[in-house]
Structure 1
């Protein structure tokens, strides 16, 4: 129990420092007065995500008022999905499936890492995170890192937390989250 509390406290301190200065994503400055869609478009390691959001017709939503929390998979995360599967998802006939997958990366509230760490602690080490795509993620801490487990048991690690946006917050992750029953 002490280790978990100490880890959460260390994570909260690190997150608090991150809130003082917005982190870069892929080396690109992230501006707190820009929307999630605008900042993601500037990040060279989020180009696949931006293409998917555009193909799904969700860019306008992510430019809206929010607030949103977005768990943003990097290009490398999308690279874990076969090229054939990714290309198929980007086809117009599969827009509903793509929207559901992308929706599993979005929460309809603003939650910084300190908020999530607090919910994890309050829930005894694991917090259920319902997404707008209908997925339920399990948020937990492991080795000082914030992790998200999807309904298929796939685990994504937050690699850059607390990227403040005008309409919410982004946490960059290293794996694409998939709805139940979908393999990647």
Structure 2
């Protein structure tokens, strides 16, 4: 009887060990494969090859990579005016929420020109778009992250539909560069008033 009980214990123990392993193999492989792959409707417009492609951008630091994307030319101009090119290119493991040219067009021209000519304000706005850690798609569903500007920004959503601060949509996320993850957004984020 004791030998039978011991045998049952061993079988039950083995089953308990095997269950998590079998559950892991049943998990959909797509979730692991999709980790880190760019997602979102605007990703389709990224060139398939060359410096502006996903493979090309992955080889360059973030400010340089952005300069190869024609949809980010206003952002690149702003980064240069603020003197942040080297800061961004030398940062390690950061996330940049990068507004498109169309995002900047939502700001009245007079207001945008004023900000572009106010280095302190421009720096404050741009550094609010940078988080000091890599934030991939799996952290976007309900996230709160401290920015380099010092305030927090939030992310929410699911699937391939995510928002930043409930206002900006991520139109192409998880774009890799050599030192950063980039989420391209459709609205310029404004830091909270201090």
Q: Please tell me the TM-score bracket, short chain as reference.
A: 0.7 to 0.9
Supply the RMSD in Å over aligned alpha carbons.
2.6
Q: Structure 1: 5+ residue runs without aligned partners?
A: 1-8, 121-125
Instruction: Confirm or deny: 8 A CA contact 2:36 2:174 kept in the other structure.
Output: no
Deviation at 1:15, TM superposition (A): 4.2
Instruction: Confirm or deny: 8 A CA contact 1:160 1:173 kept in the other structure.
Output: yes
SS of equivalent residue, structure 1 residue 60:
helix
Deviation readout 1:84-118 (Å, 9 max, x if unpaired): 11111111xx111110100110001112112x14x
Alpha-carbon distance in 2 for matches of 1:60, 1:17: 25
Q: If the length of structure 1 is used for normalisation, what is the TM-score?
A: 0.76
Alpha-carbon distance in 1 for matches of 2:185, 2:32: 20
Q: Give matches, 1:77-96, under 5 Å.
A: 77-91=103-117, 94-96=118-120
Q: Structure 2: 5+ residue runs without aligned partners?
A: 1-27
Matched positions, count: 157
**Distance of aligned partners of 1:82 and 1:12 in 2 relative to their CA distance in 1, 3 Å threshold:** farther
Give the structure with the larger helix fraction. 2
Alpha-carbon distance in 1 for matches of 2:106, 2:34: 28
SS of equivalent residue, structure 2 residue 191:
coil
Q: Give matches, 1:42-81, under 5 Å.
A: 42-81=68-107
Q: If the length of structure 2 is used for normalisation, what is the TM-score?
A: 0.72
Look at both structures and tell me which one has the larger radius of gyration over its CA atoms: 2
Q: Give 1:128's aligned residue.
A: 144
Q: Give 2:130's aligned residue.
A: 106
